[in-house]
Structures are given as C-alpha cells and as structure tokens.
Amino acid sequence: MADKISVPRVKLSNDAEIPIIGLGTWKSEPEAVKNAVKDAIDIGYRHFDCALAYENEDQIGDAIKEKIDEGVVVRKDLFITSKAWNTYHPRKLVKDGLKNTLSNLKMEYLDLYLIHWPIAYKEGTELFPKDESGKIVTSDVDYLETWKGLEDCCREGMVRNIGLSNFNSVQIQRILDICEIKPVMLQVECNPYLNQEKLFQFCKDKKLALTAYSCLGSPARPWVQASDPVLLNDPVILNLASKHSKTSAQICLRYLIQRGIVVIPKSTNRGRIESNFNVFDFELPEEDIISIKSLNRNFRAVALEWIKDHPHYPFNAAF
C-alpha cells in the first residue's frame, strides 16, 4: 500500500512539507493506539498527530520505534506533530513539556509543535487541575509568553516547525505581531458542519496552513448529546457517498483535501484507517463541493464550554 499511493504534501511558508493526511490519536486508548499506529505505517501513513494531553504518546512512540527497527520506515520519512499542553504555558516550562513528549515518543525532535490551546491551566503535575467543586483551575499566563517558549525550542533544534491550535484570528494576529519565528500551521476543528471558511482565508492571507481535526465530526467525543447532528449520517453526504461508491468519511475527507486542508482522521480500526487513507483515487466535482459547503451550520463539537469564562477562550470571536 505504501508504495502504491503517493500522498500529496502541503508546502508550509518556510518550504517544509507535511503529508496532507495523517492519523489522529485523540481519545485512542493506549492499548489500541499502538496497533493502530503500526497498522497505519504499514498502510502508508507517514504523518501522526499527537499530544501530551492525550496520554498515549508512550505507546505511539513504541509503535514507531518498532517499525523503524523493522526497517519499514526511517525517522526522516515521518512527520510527527505534538502540542504544548495548557499546564506548560510559562516560557520556562515549555521546554519541560516538550522534553516529556520527546521522551514518550522516543525521539530527538518533532516536525511540528503547536500551542494546544490559548488558555493556560494551573501549572503542576496534574494535566487537568481541578478545584474542590470539580472546575478546571486556569492560569493567567499570556500565550505570547508560551510562543516565546516554542521559539526557544525551535532554536535548540528540538522541533523543526511551530504553530498554533484552537486560536482565533485575533489571537493569531497577536502572535504574528510579536513573533521572531512565524507560525506555519493552525490546527482547528473543521468539517462540513464547521467549514471555517473565514478563518481558512485569513490563514491563507497570513501564510499559515490549516489542519482539520474532528474532520469527521468527532462522533465519539465524550460529551456527545443525542440531539447533536451526526455528520456522517447527513443525507447529502450519504447521497454523495452512494454516487461515488465511497464511504461518508471518504467524502468528508476528500472535500477538505480538495480545499488544500490537512486532515487527521482518528481511528484504531484497521479497516477504517485504511479506508480513510484511500481518498486519492477520485475527485469531487464542483457541484458536489457546493452541496457540501451548503451544509455549514457552524456546529462546534469541541467547544470546551466549561472554560468559556477565561479571557483567552478562543470561540467568542467571529472567526
């Protein structure tokens, strides 16, 4: 499979390149993610999206090491992304968080490191610090300080590219106004129900690439409600899947890929991992793209409403 499919790459503003499809690992159980990553490498994936807060990087590192030791891949052929977690926002702590990730992944460097959220949590050993009532304890550290920490890591060769996740256009501009090393990527929730057209255009104007998480609507998110819309069951998507003899997931992924957006669908099921990868043998015509665009309802599956009172909460801005 790996030598049959040539995966397109998106060129970043610094001329680095990222495969347009990768494997997402959020909510992948540690015991399942190891096999998922090994399966993905065998299928042909070379891009893996990780985060310290997912608490499964150790198993991902084990899987990648096994495949390197087997001679299936070499490190330079892989593109590995991770994210600076909210409890490591002070500049002096950013490097500590990255060291933890590198140790877990058993790597000397990352290809891309993102600020996971613009919101800081109380520093300490707990990834999700809570008070006696169970509310997340936040911190007032400005993400501009966190960005300086990412720049430090980049200069030291611990990471080759740096960027942002879950930032709005105003927050991105604040970074651009003070940065010495420019962000090359923004990772946000993006799918036909939240097509991010204005934010995507803003990023193109500022020379940031876009990665879509929850690109299939995040149907397995922990807080899903029975009343929430289900993207993969949308009649328009189902009709297009039938028309092209593809799955609903393949239609959603192809829609994003044709816009030039990087996708990181998550699965631990080998069949779905392979199916999600097989999106390069067809193209959606313009009328299909228009139909899918019409589905936008600005529905956000990952809204973190329990911290929406934080001054850096990103989803109060227009885009």
- Tell me which residue of 25, 91, 10, 100 sits closest to 64, measured CA to CA: 25
User: Which is catalytic among the residues 45, 54, 193, 255?
Assistant: 54
Residue 310, annotated ligand binder?
Answer: no
Instruction: DSSP for the chain, please give it.
Output: -TTT----EEEPTTS-EEESB-EE-TT--HHHHHHHHHHHHHHT--EEE--GGGT-HHHHHHHHHHHHHTTS--GGG-EEEEEE-GGG-SHHHHHHHHHHHHHHHT-S-BSEEEES-S-EE--SS-SS-B-TTSPBPEE---HHHHHHHHHHHHHTTSBS-EEEES--HHHHHHHHHH-SS---EEEEE-BTTB--HHHHHHHHHTT-EEEEESTT--TT-TT--TTS--GGG-HHHHHHHHHHT--HHHHHHHHHHHTT-EE--B---HHHHHHHH--SS----HHHHHHHHTT-----S---GGGTTSTT-GGGS--
Within a 13 Å sphere around the CA of 284, how many CA atoms are in the beta-carbon half?
26
User: Does 121 participate in catalysis according to the annotation?
Assistant: no
Asked whether 268 and 29 are in contact (CB, 8 A), the reply is yes
Question: In degrees, to the nearest 5, what angle opens at C-alpha 285 toward C-alphas 282 and 291?
Answer: 120
Supply the residues annotated as catalytic.
Answer: 54
Annotated binding site for substrate: 116
Annotated binding site: 116
